[in-house]
Each structure stands twice: as C-alpha cells, then as structure tokens.
Structure 1
C-alpha cells in the first residue's frame, strides 16, 4: 500500500518560470491573486512586506482523513492551497486530490506510542519530478511522543495517535487538523482567534456556531463576533420553594472564548406566605457554571402572600473581571433564597408577565 498519493499538477504551464519570481510566474498571477490575504503575517517579515497566501483546504468537506482497514487511513478527495514556504514572494500553489487516497501507516512500535501526521503538500523541483501529494509523515515512538515536522509547502490535514502495539487504525486515533481557506471576499471557516485575516474578513467559528468579522489587521483577538440569536428560557407560572437556595431557571449557551456576554434576569414579583406581620427579603444569585458572578437583594417586604418587589438586572462578563466565558458550552442559572428563613416563598409568573432568563453577546 502507498504512503503517499500524488494530486494534480499545481497549475503547471509549459514555458512559465515556476521557481523564480518573474512576471510570468503562474503562482502570482493565478493562485496568489485569488487567495492573497493582506492580513496574513508571514514569519518575521511583518505585515505587508511579502506576498501572503492563506493556505488551507478549499470548501468544508474535502481532504478529511478517516480510518481505513488495518493499518491504513483514507483521505477524501478535495482541493487545497499552500503558500510557498521557501520563497513567500513567489506566491502559492493549488492542487486537487481527484479520488480517495489510501495511505499505509507504518507498523506500530510494540512498546511506545507515536504521533504521525497527514499532510497535503507540493514538491517543487522545477522539473518533471515536481508534484502535489497527500502523504503520511511518520513520527518517532516515545513514552511522550512529539508531533513530527511538516514538510515545506504543506498543510497538516490530520493527526494519527498510533498506540503501542496497534494492529489497526481506529477513528479514536484520528484528529482532524484541516485548516480551511477561501478566496478573497469569501467566508473563511476558522476558530475565532486562530488566524489574522484582512480587514473586513468574514469567518465562521464552528465551536460557537457564530460568524465573526475582522475589524483590525494586527491582532487575531480583535476579530469581532457578529450577533448570534439570544438564548432564552421563561416561566409563565409561579415558582414556589421552601426558602433555602433553589435554582429558578437555567440555560446552556456556547461561546468562542473571546466574546463577552450579557446575562439578563427578570422576575415580575415575589411573595411569602409566612404571615403574622413578619417581613422577608429574597436574594437572587446568578451563576455561570459553578461560579457566582452577581447577585440582587429585594427590599424588605411584608410576608402577606401578596406580590411585591418585581424587577430585572443584567450582568456583563469582562476580561477586566476575568470572567469572559471560555470556548465551549456553559450553564447560566439563577437561584433564589429567602434570607429570613425556610418559609414558603414564590416568584410570581404569568403568561403575560413571565419570569425570564436570557443570555446574548454583549453589545460592542
């Protein structure tokens, strides 16, 4: 079985100066013109000092790596673009794997694990031995193995964690590492903060399911998330409890790790059935996951079973307070407690006057 499979010739044309930086170089007039990205910083050269190509897989499904039979993996057909890592000013390459490639993984070490990578790359020797390909780069087995170095003019599309003594490759050993690219003006698929796009670049962040755009070309964390729909839950009937701290409403939401959120809670009124001329007050506490981020105390009210002291409040996370939600899914909840004791207490709710808990991206 093969350890590499050739892809299409990367836009070869007879007579073109393919390895120099001449004006007839197709990399500059073709690939680079389509995939040029003024926001990509190329090594230590700095912004705007070189021709920058955003390398990656074209589209969302191509070149995915999945387990084959035995010690093999398959690479799905697809197209890719790679920058010229040796001579950035010479532009980049585009190539296509036209049919599924089956690649053989080297025999597993009997004692130690190993990390291999699958790459799509272009070998440019300036002659008929120049070609594009997908191939496995085999790592070194060790108790704590390292990721091997990718070759020049390449993108890493998959990682294989080969366990000691493995006799077959399973899906659990594979990690999808494909970067994606798009022509200038297209929507890029990339986790927020992972690339520095050109000013105005529109991208999609899969972990949060949100779109974002770049408002600045010098820092990936300046990429601003476009508004996603608020996550909201409501209750249209009274919520009654025994007085000790109890969760009233909770919701889950997904963040990208950079965007702050506004958490909003509304209660139409509270009441207590203790009676006897007593007074009471309620504290609402707001939590993100298991951490309390804010609280609200209602005034002292008579415990006469009548509704009192409705209201609402919002809490905004911030990098200044260190509570910007990390990338992933989180739980927002609000609890209530009667501070005067374990007496039957309730939050008033009706179909026309609901208890509401909502979370959304903070206004920018």
Structure 2
C-alpha cells in the first residue's frame, strides 16, 4: 500500500527533517501528488476538442465556446465562472445551470465546479490561432501547466512547426487524435490519413487515435453504450489516458519513497554521529571517575556522576527514545545514591555509569 506516502513526505518536509538538498524535489512532488492530473486538449477551431474533453469527464462539463482561446474546468468546493478579457481584466459571470452569456471580448473562461470527476483530473481546452508565431507562444505557456496533452486534428495536416513546441517531457504523455474519423471513413481516406499522421507526428506522440468525437461524447455519458464507445474510438483513448495517469502516479510515488528513504538514511546517519558523541562524552566522565584523586570525597564523586548524567541527556539524539527512557531511570537512581551519600552509593553510581556506557556503545554499533 502506498496511500501513506504523500502524508509521510509532507510530514518530513513540514517538520524540517528533510535534508536541505531534497527539499525542492519534495515540494515539487507534494504539489504533483496533491493536485489533479492536468489534461490539455489542443487544436485549431472545430476539431472536436470540447466533445473529447466531455468524453474524458464522462458527461457534459465544458460548454461549446467558439472563439475563446482557452476554457478550463477545475474542481472547487464552490462553483464559480470566471472570464478573462483580452485586456487582462477578470470578471465573474452570472450563470444559471449550465447556461451563461459570454461577453464578446472574452478570451479565457475558467469553470470552477463541484463536479466529482474533476477531483482527479482538470480539463483545459486550448484553441490555437491561425498565426503560427502566436500559436507557438500559446503552446509554450500551456506546456508548463500540462501533464497529459491531446492534440486534436480533423485530418493529417502537417503542423510540425507547432508539434516541435511540445516539450520532450510530454512526448510520452501526448496523444494525436483524429477527431472526425467518421467523415474520413465515409470519404474513404481514413486509412491514408492515419498513416500520414503516424509518419508525421509519430515520434512526438505515444500514438495516433481515430475518434468519432460526437459519438464518443454521447456514449461516455451513457454507461450502457460501451460498444458505441469502443467503435467510436473513445474506449482506446480513455484506456490510454487512464494508463498514463496510473504510470505517472506510480512514478511520483516511487520518487517520493526514494526521498523518504534518503531522509531516513540521513536521519540514521545523524543519529549514529550523535550517539558516538554521547559515548565519547560519557567515556570522558568515566575516565575522570576511575582516575580520581585518592582524597576525592564521596560527595565529589557523586557530583561528577550527576554531571555526567546531565551531559548524557543533552548529548543523546531525540531519535534514541528507548535509550532515553533508560537514562531517565538511571538519573533517578543516581539522585537516590547522591541522597544516600555513602561509599557504597558512590561505587554503585560509578558502576551504573559504566553499565550505561556499555549499552550506549552497543546502541551506537547497532
């Protein structure tokens, strides 16, 4: 079971037990493990992006918003619809059900929804402008906010100038989707289109997937239409996206466990060093006691024993909880010997320190 790993990583980060060189990586991993997988659908206008997004959600989430550069659907505890204008101004739109009026100057729409399907994945639809330079700039911006990329196209048009903008780290998590496979099939050009798409875009994507977007959207919303979902191409895409999500999650968990292991090793090494210092400190006190002056009084010997115990408590690492409990018991005995203030009490106090030192040396070597 790996459910405990995110909480464990967060705990060692918050209590500063994490070595400094691991903190940035741990913070990045915690962010990845806490947030939903970010799925981005990219393509020109009218390439089935909205239908494909709703298919991935399992029901209608994104509205048809022709003309917008970007539409996002994210989970939130409170529903809100935000609209960003080309001027950068952001306003909240009034919404009734799934209906709202989109201002003409709108450029970007963010839907914050209580929909449970968005808890593990957010959906962003990006419409690329015709201008290649502007499209490249837009791709550069969204790439850093994307975990899985689905490139939507109506045919096998060569867009290599834009495909090259997709970062290498996304190449294993990018799908090329021909979204109007039914029209190409009716025209007898589907097979050739898929072949050309594979030749042109194959190296940058995990695969080329034919899809009848509108049928896949309807079938995904009706759990009884599994056969239609399969025939429309939706099942293959859903399966692949689910696998990528699972692999990414497993990879993040493995990296998190590796950091926890390094933290445990660093803590263990630090504990061993502190145990060694505690042993060395106690050795010095015992040397003082065993090489005492002949005229040294019982009170002086017992005082040295008390100081040795106080120094040991300070030197012991916090992680040595079991040994700390033994030392706490030993302190009580030394205090009792000090009250007795006799030759036998002094001998017993020194013997107790020697025994503790043997046990501490055993703890250190273990």
Q: What TM-score comes out, normalization by structure 1 length?
A: 0.23
Q: Which has the higher helix share?
A: 2
Q: What TM-score comes out, normalization by structure 2 length?
A: 0.23
Q: Which has the higher strand share?
A: 1
**CA radius of gyration, larger in:** 2
